[in-house]
Structure 1
Amino acid sequence: STGSVQFLIIGFAQGLTAGLSILTAQHFGASDFKAVRRSFAISIVVSLIVGIILTVLSLIFVDHILLLMQTPTDIIADARTFLQIMLGGMLAPIGFN
């Protein structure tokens, strides 16, 4: 009951970081090391900002998301707890990627 939500939010974050790494790799391939450093620094800032926004919004709206997905009432408390743990630690995979 939580897999789709988890995949949507964390998948978006991982896609963002993968896209940012492409820009850095292009600069590296062009041997423009000044641009590599700049791109890497911007990637860190963007990842932190988006990660914090996604984490906060996800945690605020976790109940609404579960209700929209018609999560059965007998598992909604466990689903909420699971998503709060998974999405609360979202900055870890974003930082890793």
Structure 2
Amino acid sequence: MTTYKIEIQDRVLKVGFGEPGQNDQIVRDAAARLDEMNNSGELSGGPLIKINGPASLPVACVLVHKVSHLYGAVGVFDPKLGKYVIAITHNPEYNLGDLVD
């Protein structure tokens, strides 16, 4: 079993905690899963990836670091706003802080 679960559905990276664990193991599991998804072609790259689900700060850092090498912009879901906030961008179509559906 893994301490962190990641899957992609409709260009949204769905993330969440799995088996109980501490952040040292959770970040390793999250990184391994992202590498597996990249190697299998599940993470094909593109202009934007959106991330939705719970993450500790160390896990969030791993998630955005890994996917920012594949995608032009990274949006993270904010439940209070009901939208994704662009948190990283190398894509001129998106500015930091933009809200997207």
Q: Same fold (TM over 0.5)?
A: no
Larger strand proportion of the pair: 2
For the pair shown, the structure with the greater C-alpha radius of gyration is: 1
Larger helix proportion of the pair: 1
Greater relative contact order (CA < 8 Å, ≥ 6 in sequence):
1
* TM-score, normalised with respect to structure 1: 0.33
